[in-house]
Amino acid sequence: MRTSTPSGRSAHRIDVVSIFPSYFDGLALSLLGKARDSGILDLSVHDLRDWTHDRHRTVDDTPYGGGAGMVMKPEPWGLALDQLAAGGTRPTIIFPSPAGEVFTQATARDLATREHLVFGCGRYEGIDERVFEYARDLGEVRLISLGDYVLNGGEVAVMAMIEAIGRLIPGVVGNPESLVEESHEDGLLEYPSYTKPAVWREHEVPPILLSGNHGAIAAWRREQQLERTRIRRPDLLDD
């Protein structure tokens, strides 16, 4: 069942599992903090070690078949996922991974519609593959990469994803118009912005922006978007 906030907006639940939960303290300071306080976003960060049962709170072990590094053990992940998916919410379960599909603004828009997201942050050489198979019984599983480079773990990737997703949830960003006019929302890069003074250290604001001609300004901005995209990201125009 979908829960409602005092404002009548539906609440979005996000759970994060990590062996470094304090990584996520910064999220509370960003724009998501307000949404969380108002009940629009119910964000909980969990320590994977809370689902271990040995004295050393062990979360990793050596890989079968040999090889470098350590692999995250399946047992704590199984218990964590059981608990977070209890109640039959059928969450979307996301594992950040350089071997996953690439995260884009379209991914963020899709995930912002989901009522319950669970992020599982892997470390070391990764998580025992059976965890992904098991998780498919509990919800939809997605392996998602931030881009074609390797991070030390999923935490930074999950923070980026939550910030991109969170600001698309109605009520999280104050001005919905600011969402429409930004890079990637219409497949192009954003046009350049200026504020006062009109001349700063001999650098002038483009005169068209001071003209008061809204039609001409809109056309100029569109032109700037196309030009920037052509120079910086021609791959976006191919799409």
Q: Give the nearest distance from C-beta 13 to ligand ADE in angstroms.
A: 22
What minimum distance in Å lies between the beta carbon of 157 and ligand ADE? 3
**Closer residue to ligand ADE, CB minimum distance, 125 or 181:** 125
Closest CA to 19 of 127, 164, 98: 127
Can you tell me the distance from the alpha carbon of 180 to that of 184, in angstroms, rounded to the nearest whole number? 9
- Of residues 76 and 96, the one with the C-beta less far from ligand ADE: 96
**By C-beta, is 16 or 40 nearer to ligand ADE?**
16
Between residues 15 and 171, which has the closer beta carbon with respect to ligand ADE?
15
Shortest spacing between CB 20 and ligand ADE, in angstroms: 13
**DSSP per-residue codes, 5-65:** -TTSPBPEEEEEEES-GGGGGGGGTSTHHHHHHHTSEEEEEEEGGGG--STT---EEPPTT
Q: What is the DSSP string of 158-188?
A: HHHHHHHHHTTSTTTSS-THHHHTSTTTTSS
Q: Name the minimum Å distance from CB 107 to ligand ADE.
A: 12
With CB atoms as reference, the residue minimizing the distance to ligand ADE is: 96
Q: Is the dihedral of CA 148, 149, 150, 151 positive or negative?
A: negative
Report the interface residues with ligand ADE, using CB under 6 A: 96-98, 145-147, 149-151, 154, 157
Minimum distance, C-beta of residue 100 to ligand ADE, in the bound complex (Å): 7
Q: Which is nearer to ligand ADE, 157 or 169 (CB)?
A: 157
Nearer to ligand ADE, 97 or 229 (CB): 97
Smaller CB separation from ligand ADE, 143 or 208:
143
- Residue 67 φ/ψ, nearest 5 degrees: 120, 170
Least CB distance from residue 99 to ligand ADE, whole Å? 9
User: CA-based angle 146:94:7, to the nearest 5?
Assistant: 105
We find the least distance from the C-beta atom of residue 113 to ligand ADE, in angstroms, to be: 21
**Tokens at residue 219, please?**
């056309």
- Long-range contacts of range 84-87, CB-CB < 8 Å, 24 or more positions apart? 84/15, 84/17, 84/46, 84/118, 85/118, 85/138, 85/139
